Amino acid sequence: MSDKFQEAFAKTRIAGSVASGALDELSKFIEPGISTNKIDNLCYEFINDNGAFSAPLFYRGFPKTCCTSANHIVCHGIPSDKILREGDIINVDVTAFKDGWHGDTSRMFYVGEVSVRAKKLVETTYEAMMKGIEVLTLNSHLGNIGEAIQNYVEKKGFSVVRDFCGHGIGEVFHKEPNVLHYGIKDVGKKLEVGMIFTIEPMINEGVYETKVLNDGWTAVTKDKKLSAQFEHTIGITNDGYEIFTASKKGLNFPPYK
């Protein structure tokens, strides 16, 4: 790989490890009774202590450090004084900006014991993200990612959100290409060495349609059924891919303790 790509990868690795480290840290605290503002504060402290900044904070007017999306919230939930209760499922999405580069990752958390149905949705969503990652290979097409995810998810009886997608990332938070989580094999842009982008499928229990609430951010499922999401930032290498936001503690999907 060229020096330019080596440097991009080295810096994304660092930003990515701050973001994934924040999620590792949160797993100690997420339990019934915690507010999403408390999650946001913990996230802020961790990112700050690690010499990084939160990319979402003040991004297009977003008011908080991370996104907290519980139950029927698909993505971009805004931390508030809302208290999490036993049985809730919640996605926390963290993007660290360090030394000019971004690392973007999210995971689901269980709040106490959750329903069998919720577990099935969360496990399917994690596996779907991994299916999308495992097909990554030089010169394959972006459509292969979407095809792998959609095929897996629909077989399980769940649906793939169309209104939000993964994205190129680097010195800029969101850039081309759009990475769709549904699609057709061998269609779309070809994967090239050095490309860095996210894969972040949002999977719904019911219909895939979403709507955005009046706060201009919070996206929810149209049918108020559950939604789940996981996200990694990855880079394309000569022999496949590198995940920049893997948990260093093996905290890949819940339960974490």
Q: Give contact residues for Co ion (rule: CB under 5 A).
A: 93, 104, 198, 231
Exposed, middle or buried by CB within 10 Å (0-12, 13-18, 19+), for 214?
exposed
Cα-Cα-Cα-Cα dihedral of 136, 142, 144, 150, to 10°? 110
Residue 184 C-beta: closest distance to ligand MF3, Å: 23
| Token reading at 108 | 């689901």
The DSSP symbol for 15 reads H
Residues 169-188 that bind ligand MF3 (CB under 6 A): none
16 in contact with ligand MF3 (CB under 6 A): no
Q: Which is nearer to Co ion, 20 or 198 (CB)?
A: 198
Give the one residue of 25, 40, 88, 93 binding ligand MF3; rule: CB under 6 A: 93
| Residue in the shown chain whose Cβ atom is closest to ligand MF3 | 56
Residue 172 C-beta: closest distance to ligand MF3, Å: 12
59 in contact with ligand MF3 (CB under 6 A): yes
CA 137 from chain center: how many Å?
21
Q: What is the largest CA-CA distance in the chain?
A: 50
Closest to 119 measured CA to CA, from 254, 247, 257: 254
Residues that bind ligand MF3 (CB under 6 A): 56, 59-60, 62, 67, 76, 93, 95, 104, 198, 200, 217, 231
